[in-house]
């Protein structure tokens, strides 16, 4: 045998052979299509990728049995989400499920998932991913095959990156690439960045492999590929992509060193990380600014913490089976109790781990943890097999993708997940079990044909043909309903939307569109029921209730006021008075609506003041009652005092304003701006300045210096007469020495300096006011206010 190895032809000893395994091109093309077709976001794109996976099973089903542990865990991963179809009576349901059961326009569900057909659709896509992982696990690729597949995929991804850079520079992106920043196929920059980051790790491994085996052309090509992918990440401004690339590169060198028991690679790993961060610090540009902004804001400025808290509450209400795949964005509004996000509905919690826990429960999380454990065990057993660099890079990509799930949801897009599954399979040992029997391979082909049929159904979605809406989704129904409505077929449009609400009962948007169509068709009571469904589905939001009021405004006064009153109850406190004022303005041409609005919140001082301001001259009659009810503003909220005083001043009640402020320090403290403005209009500048300096904001001033330092500062000021810092220090020294005239002269001198700080005019105003030069002080104060706003 040794002699045969020595006599083997030279080409058989090379490490750069391009040996494509059977169906290798189909596998790589399918994986790259998951990325190129808008990250697999459109339903028809998911159908194309599904057909590609199905063809793998039809044309080349596995010949040999993989590890039994791998098969078992993949079966569990495929079946675990079906726990959402357990009877709802078996598990404790949250209160909001009970409340929805009382809303007649929302179809009730007898199982754990509130939208069974929605969950079924997402489960089918989940199974496609499991089948891709299962097919890859069942392959008996040798090290030449794995190296070739890695090069094919990485080169293809580098080509996509070049095309994305070209499209970003020229604006010639494909129409289906709806990126938020115009770069790449994904809407989210972090998803595109994660794909490029994993590709960069693979390109780095192939570059290392080429360098070790002295493949000069390979070193050049893959060096360019690494540069392109790294440059794409920087151009994409993706923080997650950069972390994936750098941490993945670090993990690659560590895994490679451990696999070969060459621990010097640990030093290379740390050196790579330090060099990468140093290069990023020097040329990071906008991406560096985004990182710095993140650290400056900290957790207090990051809404993710609140998302995590609310999502954990959601998980607590369905810990075992979750709420079913695909239901997060529909269920999360019932737990959205954080006021700063009261105007919008998040689609995910920025954490794939929590997203899985909320949709699949802890059961699915535990199954996935077991799957990761089996994967790492198999990868560890194959650590000594060739090519070590490809296996180490594939394992590194898998690790960073798993870590990525804790601060992003990139893994929930098939354009990220399917490349991750493909790369992970390159680190597994070849399937070398018993040969699979012929009839089982035929069953695999039949299953592949069924999967291809599902993919074709999804592809038909591109033509808006609802062949099987329960599998295909409701987008086609919504599109057809819009077309029917535009054509004047309102009854047909309503019927299509009713079918959509039956399939996705928690889709508030479908209920909203249905209500609008029914109202146009004169079905007011049916529309009212649909609007109440929207109200029940978004219990913490208020903007849709405001819009509902506009629908009812020309139709029904009572329902208009009901919707707007609910809006005021849900809106943040600081916005309620403004919204109420807007409602009164909108209702000025609808007397019945206006009359009902004027009766709301009769005892609320904020709302009463809104009514006074919107009543014009008639509000003068209500004003004394308002002042009496608030005990001359003593019981009015703090933020109202200034507005009330300003209104009284505008209505010619200056004497009453002065009377209110006399002997009431609270009124002076809260309404000093109005009182100062009134005093200035009456040429009483001394009083206006007293109010400003007593109650107004004060700028941050430099710390005073010791009187003993005056001589040294004076010498420094003589040597550098145009230095602002020295000039200010000289002024402080003069003030400490009680040389007030000289200090005031120094302030005037500093005003002539270019870029003099705004507080110099504040100091000058205060000094002039203390000396009785009130007109000059007022001018200085006005200049300070103008400069401080710049």
- The HSE-up count of residue 565 (CA atoms within 13 Å, CB side) is 14
**Predicted pLDDT at 708:** 54
Handedness of CA 720, 721, 725, 731 (dihedral sign): positive
Same domain, 215 and 129: yes
**Predicted pLDDT at 517:** 92
User: pLDDT at residue 728 above 60?
Assistant: yes
Same domain, 616 and 670: no
628 in a domain, yes or no?
no
Confidence of residue 14 (pLDDT cuts 50, 70, 90): low
Comparing 790 with 256, the larger pLDDT belongs to 256
454 in a domain, yes or no?
no
Tokens of 518: 């029914």
Instruction: Please write the tens of the pLDDT for every residue from 219-248.
Output: 899 999 999 998 888 887 777 788 888 888
Exposure b/e, 157-170, CB count within 10 A at least 16 = b: bbebbebbbebbee
Same domain, 552 and 500: yes
Tokens of 698: 């004060």
The stretch 106-131 carries a mean pLDDT of: 92
Rounded distance, CA 545 to CA 657, Å?
A: 39
Instruction: Please write the tens of the pLDDT for every residue from 704-726.
Output: 655 556 666 666 666 666 666 77
590 in a domain, yes or no?
yes
Rounded distance, CA 245 to CA 268, Å?
A: 15
Altogether, the residues listed in the chain come to a count of 790
**Predicted pLDDT at 72:** 93
- Cβ proximity of 759 and 700 under 8 Å: yes
Instruction: Please write the tens of the pLDDT for every residue from 395-420.
Output: 999 998 888 888 777 778 889 999 99
Highest mean pLDDT among 91-100, 171-180, 447-456: 447-456
Same domain, 671 and 715: no
**Predicted pLDDT at 633:** 84
CB under 8 Å to 122, separation ≥6 — which residues? 81, 324, 325, 326
User: pLDDT at residue 180 above 90?
Assistant: no
Beta bridge partners, 64, equal: 435
147 in a domain, yes or no?
yes
How many separate domains does the chain show? Answer: 4
Nearest Cα to Cα of residue 335 among 405, 503, 327, 409: 327
Same domain, 518 and 555: yes
User: pLDDT at residue 306 above 70?
Assistant: yes
User: pLDDT at residue 159 above 50?
Assistant: yes
User: pLDDT at residue 532 above 90?
Assistant: yes
Write the CATH number for 726.
1.25.40.10
User: pLDDT at residue 299 above 50?
Assistant: no
User: pLDDT at residue 8 above 60?
Assistant: no
Same domain, 350 and 478: no
3-state secondary structure of 258: helix
Tokens 């809303």: give the residue: 103
Tokens of 80: 């675990």
742 in a domain, yes or no?
yes
Same domain, 263 and 401: yes
Q: Collect contacts of 544-553 with beta carbons under 8 A, ≥24 apart.
A: 544/508, 544/512, 545/570, 546/579, 548/515, 549/583, 550/586, 551/515, 551/516, 551/519, 551/527, 553/586, 553/587, 553/590, 553/593
Helix (H) or strand (E) holding 306: helix 304-317
Q: Cα dist. 520→185, 393, 737 in Å?
A: 39, 59, 81
- 662: containing domain: 638-695
Rounded distance, CA 52 to CA 41, Å?
A: 16
Rounded distance, CA 507 to CA 382, Å?
A: 47
User: What average pLDDT does the chain have?
Assistant: 83
- Cβ proximity of 553 and 593 under 8 Å: yes
User: pLDDT at residue 294 above 60?
Assistant: no
**Predicted pLDDT at 385:** 59
Tokens 């596998």: give the residue: 27
Give the 3-state DSSP-derived string for 482-510, with helices as H, strands as E and coil as C: HHHHHCCCHHHHHHHHHHHHHHCCCCHHH
User: pLDDT at residue 564 above 90?
Assistant: yes
User: pLDDT at residue 291 above 50?
Assistant: no
Tokens 């005990």: give the residue: 631
The stretch 310-319 carries a mean pLDDT of: 89
654 in a domain, yes or no?
yes
Highest mean pLDDT among 2-11, 379-388, 678-687: 678-687
Same domain, 266 and 414: yes
Same domain, 486 and 592: yes
User: pLDDT at residue 563 above 80?
Assistant: yes
User: Percent of the chain having pLDDT more than 70?
Assistant: 89
467 in a domain, yes or no?
no
Instruction: Please write the tens of the pLDDT for every residue from 271-288.
Output: 877 877 666 655 455 555
- Cβ proximity of 593 and 580 under 8 Å: no
- Cβ proximity of 229 and 158 under 8 Å: yes
Tokens of 743: 């200090």
Same domain, 612 and 716: no
Same domain, 688 and 774: no
Helix (H) or strand (E) holding 632: none
User: DSSP secondary-structure letter at 290?
Assistant: H
Same domain, 520 and 567: yes
Q: Which of 425, 444, 462 is the last residue of a domain?
A: 425
Q: Which of 695, 716, 744 is the last residue of a domain?
A: 695
* Backbone dihedral region for residue 208 (phi beyond 0: left; psi -120 to 50: alpha; all else: beta): alpha
**Predicted pLDDT at 134:** 92
| Strand residue runs (E) in 91-143 | none
Q: CA-based angle 119:123:127, to the nearest 5?
A: 180
Rounded distance, CA 532 to CA 515, Å?
A: 10
Nearest Cα to Cα of residue 419 among 699, 682, 185: 185
Class of residue 673 by CB neighbours under 10 A (exposed 0-12, middle 13-18, buried 19+): middle
Q: Which of 425, 447, 463 is the last residue of a domain?
A: 425
User: pLDDT at residue 128 above 90?
Assistant: yes
Instruction: Please write the tens of the pLDDT for every residue from 44-96.
Output: 999 999 999 999 999 999 988 888 889 999 999 999 999 999 998 888 888 88
Torsion angle of alpha carbons 151, 153, 158, 162, nearest 10°?
Answer: 140
User: pLDDT at residue 154 above 50?
Assistant: yes
Comparing 451 with 9, the larger pLDDT belongs to 451
534 in a domain, yes or no?
yes
Rounded distance, CA 735 to CA 728, Å?
A: 11
Indicate the angle between helix axes 438-459 and 43-59, nearest 10 degrees.
Answer: 160
Instruction: Please write the tens of the pLDDT for every residue from 246-275.
Output: 888 888 888 888 877 777 878 888 887 787
């Amino acid at each position: 045998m040794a002699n045969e190895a020595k006599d083997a032809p030279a080409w058989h000893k090379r490490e750069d052979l391009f040996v494509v395994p059977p169906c290798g091109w189909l596998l790589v093309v399918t994986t790259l299509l998951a990325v190129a077709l808008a990250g697999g976001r459109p339903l028809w794109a998911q159908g194309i990728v599904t057909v590609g996976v199905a063809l793998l099973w039809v044309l080349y089903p596995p010949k040999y049995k993989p590890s039994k542990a791998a098969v078992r865990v993949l079966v569990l991963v495929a079946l675990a989400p079906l726990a959402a179809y357990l009877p709802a009576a078996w598990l404790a349901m949250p209160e909001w499920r009970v409340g929805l059961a009382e809303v007649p326009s929302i179809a009730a569900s007898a199982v754990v998932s509130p939208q069974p057909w929605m969950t079924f659709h997402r489960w089918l896509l989940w199974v496609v991913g499991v089948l891709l992982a299962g097919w890859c696990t069942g392959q008996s690729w040798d090290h030449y095959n794995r190296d070739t597949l890695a090069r094919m995929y990485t080169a293809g991804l580098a080509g996509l990156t070049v095309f994305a850079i070209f499209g970003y520079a020229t604006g010639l992106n494909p129409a289906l690439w709806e990126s938020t920043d115009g770069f790449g196929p994904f809407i989210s920059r972090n998803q595109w960045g994660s794909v490029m980051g994993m590709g960069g790790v693979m390109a780095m491994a192939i570059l290392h492999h080429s360098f070790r085996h002295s493949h000069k052309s390979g070193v050049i090509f893959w060096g360019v590929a690494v540069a392109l992918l790294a440059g794409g990440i920087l151009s994409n401004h993706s923080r997650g992509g950069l972390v994936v690339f750098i941490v993945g590169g670090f993990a690659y060198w560590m895994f490679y060193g451990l696999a070969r028991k060459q621990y010097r690679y640990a030093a290379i790993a740390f050196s790579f990380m330090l060099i990468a961060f140093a290069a990023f610090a020097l040329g990071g540009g906008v991406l560096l600014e985004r990182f710095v902004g993140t650290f400056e804001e900290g957790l207090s400025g990051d809404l993710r913490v609140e998302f995590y808290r609310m999502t954990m509450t959601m998980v607590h209400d369905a810990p075992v089976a979750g709420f079913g795949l695909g239901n997060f964005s529909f269920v999360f509004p019932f737990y959205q109790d954080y006021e700063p996000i009261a105007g919008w509905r998040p689609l995910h919690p920025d954490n794939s781990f929590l997203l899985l826990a909320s949709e699949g429960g802890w059961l699915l999380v535990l199954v996935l943890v077991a799957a990761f454990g089996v994967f790492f065990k198999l990868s560890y057993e194959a650590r000594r097999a060739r090519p070590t660099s490809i296996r180490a890079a594939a394992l590194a990509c898998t690790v960073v993708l798993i870590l990525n799930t804790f601060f992003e949801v990139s893994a929930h897009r098939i354009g990220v997940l399917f490349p991750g599954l493909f790369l992970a399979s390159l680190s597994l040992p070849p399937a070398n079990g018993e040969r699979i029997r012929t009839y089982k391979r035929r069953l695999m082909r039949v299953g592949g044909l069924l999967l291809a049929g599902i993919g074709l159904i999804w592809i038909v979605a591109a033509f808006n043909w609802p062949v099987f809406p329960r599998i295909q989704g409701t987008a086609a129904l919504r599109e057809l309903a819009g077309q029917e409505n535009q054509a004047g077929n309102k009854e047909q449009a309503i019927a299509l939307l009713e079918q959509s609400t039956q399939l996705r009962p928690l889709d508030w948007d479908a209920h909203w569109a249905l209500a609008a169509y029914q109202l146009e068709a004169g079905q007011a009571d049916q529309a009212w029921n649909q609007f109440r469904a929207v109200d029940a589905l978004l219990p913490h939001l208020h903007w849709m209730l405001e819009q509902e009021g506009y629908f009812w405004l020309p139709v029904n006064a009572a329902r208009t006021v009901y919707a707007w009153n609910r809006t005021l109850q849900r809106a943040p406190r600081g916005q309620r008075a403004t919204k109420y004022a807007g409602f009164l303005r909108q209702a000025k041409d609808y007397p019945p609506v206006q009359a009902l609005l004027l009766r709301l919140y009769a005892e609320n001082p904020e709302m009463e003041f809104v009514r006074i301001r919107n009543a014009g001259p008639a509000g003068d009659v209500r004003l004394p009652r308002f002042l009496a009810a608030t005990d001359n503003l003593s019981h009015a909220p703090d933020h109202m005092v200034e507005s009330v005083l300003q209104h009284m001043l505008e209505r010619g009640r200056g004497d009453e304003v002065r009377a209110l402020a006399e002997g009431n320090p609270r009124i002076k403290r809260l309404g000093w701006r109005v009182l100062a403005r009134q005093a200035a209009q009456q040429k009483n500048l001394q009083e206006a300045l007293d109010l400003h300096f007593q109650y107004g904001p004060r700028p941050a001033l430099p710390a005073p210096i010791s009187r003993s330092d005056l001589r040294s500062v004076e010498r420094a000021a003589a040597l550098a007469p145009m230095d602002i810092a020295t000039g200010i220090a000289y002024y402080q020294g003069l003030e400490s020495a009680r040389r007030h005239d000289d200090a005031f002269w120094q302030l005037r001198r500093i005003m002539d300096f270019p870029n003099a700080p705004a507080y110099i005019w504040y100091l000058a105003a205060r000094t002039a006011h203390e000396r009785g030069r009130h007109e000059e002080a007022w001018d200085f104060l006005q200049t300070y206010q103008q400069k401080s706003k710049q």
